[in-house]
Structure 1
Amino acid sequence: VNDPDAELWVVVYAIPAVLALLVGFNPLITGNFIWKSVSAMHIIFCVVWAASLAYYLLLHAQQNILHEEEGRELSGLVIITAWMCLCHSSSKNPVGGRIQLAIAIVITLFPFISWVYIYINKEMRSSWPTHCKTVI
């Protein structure tokens, strides 16, 4: 409701979600040319967009980056990029290893841990915009 570019984010998150779902069904698909190409293009797109958001935040951030819309978007792009890089590199070793598993767990838990931290931190919560104070 309060996000003017919500449709764009549906596409940005849908592409890696579909690619990851395909990996879940068939881990060897990461060796497929089409899968690798779409994944690589999406990674490049996310890295360029994340760099532009980071530059914008460097110049214009007025408070904690998680309070800025661009900061939350940047966090999402970093998570997408890390996850897609993890999937992209799994074509070399589809079974995976301990390091890849640890990275996957950290990427998966990061949004939940950061949300709990922000929700528990009263100082950070007090400076939320009005529309965020009615969230769970």
Structure 2
Amino acid sequence: MPRERDLKFRAVTAFQRWVANPVSRRLPFQTLVETTGRTSGLERRTPVGGRRVGQQFWFVSEYGEKSQYVRNIQADPRVRVRVGGRWHHGTAHLLPEDDPRARLKSLPRLNSGAVRAFGTSLLTIRVDLDPDPAG
């Protein structure tokens, strides 16, 4: 079983890294989370499926702490989130105590189905969005 999980992880992340994510990042209304690379210091943009609720943005990572963007958040929780084509600054919080399967029920259905199908170590993430200075 662990070997199957590792193979699944490698296959899915390779597809996401080289095919799905480069295409998704170019779509103007794709939701993205932007972290700072923990080694490079460069901006790293990852397509995610989540939902804004008031001044928070919620999503679930498929691979938890194995995800590169989660490791970036651990090093620097300041992020930006693009929702509906608009960027928002915020602070990300990893919530291992939250039930990610229950959380997925409140998030966009298509993405949630993919996360459940391909994920091996689900982790809920909440981004507390900074107040909008424009109003």
Q: Fold match, TM over 0.5?
A: no
Task: Name the structure where strand makes up a greater proportion of residues.
Answer: 2
Higher relative contact order (CA closer than 8 Å, sequence separation 6+)? 2
**TM-score normalised according to structure 1 size:** 0.31
Report which of the two structures shows the higher radius of gyration computed on alpha carbons.
Answer: 1
